[in-house]
Amino acid sequence: MFSAFKSRYDHFIIGYSYKTNYLPALIKKLSKMGAYSEVVSRVEYDLALKLGVEPNKIIFNGPFKSYDDIALALEGNSILNLDSFYEIELVKEYAAAHTDKNHKVGIRTNFDLTIDGETPLLDGFERSRFGFFLENGDIETAIDELTSIPNVKVVGLHGHFSTSIRSLTIYKKIIQTLCNLAKHYLSDTLEYLDVGGGFFGHVPKTMNIKDAPTFEEYAEIICSVVNKEKKNFKKEPMLIIEPGLALVADTFKFFCKVIDVKKYQDESFVLVEGSVHNIKPAMHNRNLPLKHVKRDTRYYKQGKFNVVGYTCMEKDYLISGQIGEIPKPKDFLVFSNVGAYTIVFAPAFIKERPPIIAIEDGSYSLVRKREKLTDFINDKVYIY
């Protein structure tokens, strides 16, 4: 993904979206590879610091920031994108108390993405709730207010949208709108344009998603707009993207053992030592790629089966309606493409969360230990 963009536009940064998967070993690896840290809360910011990330390589987004959060980000020269007017007041207050320095901020923008009368936003929302609205003049007001503070400059525009289609048309519209706004308001001060995340990664065939763009296609459409528009700015701006899912979805596999198999009429229920929470917390109904590791050398019957989890929820299906060789107890099932939002959305529910093993250059290391009762219900925080 990095080289697809970097080869087309040299001033380029990837900020890894922490909330997609917090595994410290993974974040450290991505930082080492040059990724910035994209965080949306103070605990995520503190995690970045704890992992040794330099503050000027942290991108601080999100709708909720306190005065202390903003102070910390400005002190550390982090990339700070403001989301609402209350944050402008906090910046004013900080800037007034710290007049020895010029402070740089960016703003998150929000504009209509409707295509042919239909909203592409995830879950069918007509309008995003994040950032400053374009059409009612909030963006202009925000820029005016910020630039009227003597020691504050607006240096960046951010436009992250979560859409279901993740299409090239969407990204073209986002980057073009950011460029148009920057030309109009920030041609002297612009330092970065940030199109956010929301990209498709490598989509497995089993998920049956047609027309998912490749990294090359995303890069081509976004970089061609920036390359065309960059002459309008005093300084060639940094282009930033903030992928989460696209970077990490295909880096994780989930291994679980088959406990039992029940049959009712023509359908089997394969119970495993795992749950839908471990592999698709969004509980979408697409099947993930599944590998069946057999422990029995004898014949396996073909048939229709579901893979179901250990929780007590009826809807705990890891796989539904698959046709193939029906697994037997003690076999293992391996699900791939489970790296996005699984670790962060795995509730402490009914059973401990599984350990995680990293494979690097053919060697194995434990990067998350097996949980015990005191990790599951942390007795440093719960009062017994």
Q: Which residues bind ligand PLP (CB under 6 A)?
A: 17, 19-20, 38, 40, 61, 160, 162, 196-199, 242-246
Residue type, 285: N
Q: Tell me whether residue 17 or residue 287 sits nearer to ligand PLP (CB atom).
A: 17
State whether the Cα torsion 283-289-294-298 is positive or negative: positive
Report the nearest approach of ligand PLP to the CB of residue 354 (Å).
22
Report the nearest approach of ligand PLP to the CB of residue 126 (Å).
19
Q: Tell me whether residue 192 or residue 199 sits nearer to ligand PLP (CB atom).
A: 199
Within 10 A of 356 (CB to CB), how many other CB atoms are there?
A: 17
Report the nearest approach of ligand PLP to the CB of residue 59 (Å).
8
Report the b/e string of 112-123 with b at 16+ CB within 10 A.
ebeeeeebbbee
CA dist list (Å): 261 to 106, 269, 302, 304, 315:
55, 6, 14, 12, 17
Cβ neighbours of residue 67 closer than 8 Å, sequence gap 6 or more: 90, 93, 94
Three-class DSSP category at 329? coil
**Residue facing ligand PLP at closest CB distance:** 244
Residues in the chain: 384
Q: Tell me whether residue 38 or residue 316 sits nearer to ligand PLP (CB atom).
A: 38
Report the nearest approach of ligand PLP to the CB of residue 120 (Å).
13
Q: Tell me whether residue 81 or residue 287 sits nearer to ligand PLP (CB atom).
A: 81
Report the nearest approach of ligand PLP to the CB of residue 139 (Å).
17
Of 104, 123, 294, 302, the residue nearest 192 (C-alpha): 104
Q: Tell me whether residue 200 or residue 317 sits nearer to ligand PLP (CB atom).
A: 200
Q: For the chain, what is the radius of gyration of the CA atoms? A: 24
Name 336's bridge partners. Answer: 253
Report the nearest approach of ligand PLP to the CB of residue 104 (Å).
18
DSSP string over 109-137: EE----BTTB--BGGG-SS--SSEESTTS
Report the nearest approach of ligand PLP to the CB of residue 355 (Å).
24
Q: Tell me whether residue 91 or residue 174 sits nearer to ligand PLP (CB atom).
A: 174
CA 241 to chain centre: 11
| CA–CA–CA angle 108, 110, 116 (5° rounding) | 150
Q: Tell me whether residue 243 or residue 327 sits nearer to ligand PLP (CB atom).
A: 243
Report the nearest approach of ligand PLP to the CB of residue 308 (Å).
27
Three-class DSSP category at 381? coil
Burial class (CB in 10 A: 0-12, 13-18, 19+), 265: exposed
Q: Tell me whether residue 152 or residue 245 sits nearer to ligand PLP (CB atom).
A: 245
Report the nearest approach of ligand PLP to the CB of residue 225 (Å).
19
Q: Tell me whether residue 15 or residue 309 sits nearer to ligand PLP (CB atom).
A: 15
